Amino acid sequence: MSDNHFEDDDAQQRPAKSQRYHQISEIDSKILGLLEKRSYLLRKEGAWRRSKQKSQIDPQLEKDLRRAWEEAGEGLGLDPRLSRQLFTLANQFAQSATGSGDKGGYKLAPRREAADATIEGPRSLRTTRLWMSIAAACGQPCSLPQALLNAPNKDLAKGLKQAGAAVTWDDTGFSFAATEPLEFENAMLFAGDDPLNFYLLLCMALGNMGRCKFTGQATLQLLEVQKFNKFLPQLGARLVPMNPNNPGLPCRLESGGTMDEEITLPKDIDPDFAAALVLASWSYPGGLAVNGLSGDALEAAAAAADVLEACGIEVTRTKDGFEVSDGIPAVPETPVLPLDTVLTPYLLALPAFCGGRISVRGTWAESAKPILDQLADLGIEIEQTDEAMTATSKGIPSYPRITIGERAGLYPLALALGVRAGKAVIEGQPPMEAAEMLDHMNATYEADTESISITGVGEWEGSFGSPAPEWSLGLALAAWRCPGIMLSNHGELTSWWPQFWNFYNTLPTGVMKPKPKKEDRSVKRRRIRIG
């Protein structure tokens, strides 16, 4: 066959190739145009958040966008792994255009030395706010010197102050002075960005007659408040959204109707709402019986019951709820705050990654003992005293089955422990972030609806936007096994746990740098000439 024959075929195909080129390049141009528009909207959102002294990335927004992206990709039959990678790359276009300077994020580079550190453990975020709320509602003096001075706690303090609480805070914690009970009539209450804050303010306001309004930030603006109207009428109240473009805050509470003495909450109720309702039940006429709680809601509400009992309020624990009597709480002047059962396990697991020992000062709630048992099954030995817990590690077992991730907030810890082992099975339904995190690690794994099996871990690639503080903690641990991890929004964890990165970056001793002292401008200075 002559060369001229091939040249003739190529000449015949050239128009078709040219047509395909123009069709595909036109589509590519549209894709890039849409990508630019998408990046612009994300940059606009990031600029607004920075103007409010917040981190550039909104984790909830990114989580919702990721879910919508993956659902759309599945509908089109696209490869899920490549689709996730494309989503990450699309986000990086927006982040790289913000002029952040580091073009990747915050690099996790822990020192590879055995730890020998002691830290004041993070106190329970939920229990802290339960005590803050009951102290404010009663107008009784109370001091919480070991509470975390983080964004959720301070946001609640601001909301309580708007209702008349005499609350102050500084580097030593929160302090409540004696004052009149809270007043909700015509109040405008700020709940920040955390649902528990909104639930606490809402449930305390239910026992009052009149109207009040609630405002909040991005997460609460997306909260569907109408769903609460399925049962709030039983408590003589209803919620009305005030912005037609938002299903959540701002919203208005109308309360003061006849309240039932017993209520059965939906099975899918947020556990934090159950805790807030149980805590406020003493203030309702005749108290309240709260029933229908799931396992997680029972555990959350049990923390509220403990606070009420410490204040002398009678609480009866039933199979699926709590019966709370009315009365006047006697708030202790300095309640004991237990260690946080989500944040603390990440500290206790540190020796499994870096070796040595970590001592965490504080007391552990007896109800959370199963967490320590699960850590012990993974080779982490924990010695408890009345004042602290000290963790050391014998090494993670070969190919472990890790169950700790089935507890709320601890899946990233389970995943990090699996990465540390190299080969492991993490039990529990995997969240969508798990696959994305493992993809960044170039890990080999198999996932189904009930577990993830990891068989190898490669090298880190790209930058990861943490959807929640616990994912940043999980990556902080995994960085010992997979160096070079880049976080694009490490500030999200700082807003929840201000001390962590300082402690992490000063290991193996964990001796944190003191905060710089502000200059006292009232002190007069003298210039002294020398020579």
Summarised one tens digit per residue, pLDDT across range 213-247 is: 999 988 898 899 999 999 999 999 999 999 877 78
Name residue 114's amino acid.
Answer: A
Q: Supply the pLDDT for residue 297.
A: 96
DSSP-derived secondary structure letter, 508: T
Q: For residue 503, which of 513, 491, 492 has the smallest C-alpha distance?
A: 513
Which has the minimum average pLDDT: 83-97, 412-426, 460-474? Answer: 83-97
Average pLDDT, integer, range 283-297? 95
Residue 94 vs residues 16, 98, 184, 486: alpha-carbon distances, Å: 36, 7, 42, 16
Which residue has better confidence, 206 or 26? 206
Going from N- to C-terminal start, the domains of the chain cover 106-121+339-505, 125-324
Residue 198 vs residues 88, 153, 221, 261: alpha-carbon distances, Å: 32, 12, 11, 23
CA 229-267-277 angle, to 5 degrees, is: 60
The answer to whether the bond into 145 is cis (omega within 30° of 0) is: no
Note the pLDDT tens digit of each residue in 54-90.
656 677 787 788 888 888 888 888 888 788 778 877 8
Q: Do the domains at 106-121+339-505 and 125-324 have one common CATH topology? A: yes
Fold that domain 106-121+339-505 belongs to in CATH: UDP-n-acetylglucosamine1-carboxyvinyl-transferase; Chain (3.65.10)
Distance CA 531, CA 527 (A): 13
* Residue 171 backbone phi and psi in degrees, to 5: -65, -15
8 A C-beta contact, residue 481 and residue 420 = yes
- Number of Cβ within 10 Å of residue 446's Cβ equals 10
Q: Supply the pLDDT for residue 32.
A: 82
8 A C-beta contact, residue 41 and residue 34 = no
Edge-to-edge strands, sheet with 262-264 = 262-264, 288-291, 322-324, 315-317
CATH code matching the domain that covers 125-324, chosen among 1.10.287.130, 3.90.850.10, 3.65.10.10, 3.40.630.20: 3.65.10.10
Percent of the chain's residues with pLDDT above 90: 69
Alpha helices in 99-231 (DSSP H): 125-138, 151-162, 195-205, 218-221
Residue 227 vs residues 200, 212, 230, 247: alpha-carbon distances, Å: 17, 19, 6, 10
8 A C-beta contact, residue 125 and residue 340 = yes
Note the pLDDT tens digit of each residue in 305-351.
999 999 999 999 999 999 999 999 999 999 999 999 999 999 999 99
Which has the minimum average pLDDT: 5-9, 278-282, 485-489? Answer: 5-9
8 A C-beta contact, residue 213 and residue 250 = yes
Taking the model in full, what pTM does it have?
Answer: 0.80
8 A C-beta contact, residue 218 and residue 242 = no
Distance of alpha carbon 43 from the chain centroid: 23
Q: Supply the pLDDT for residue 103.
A: 46
Average pLDDT of the chain is 89
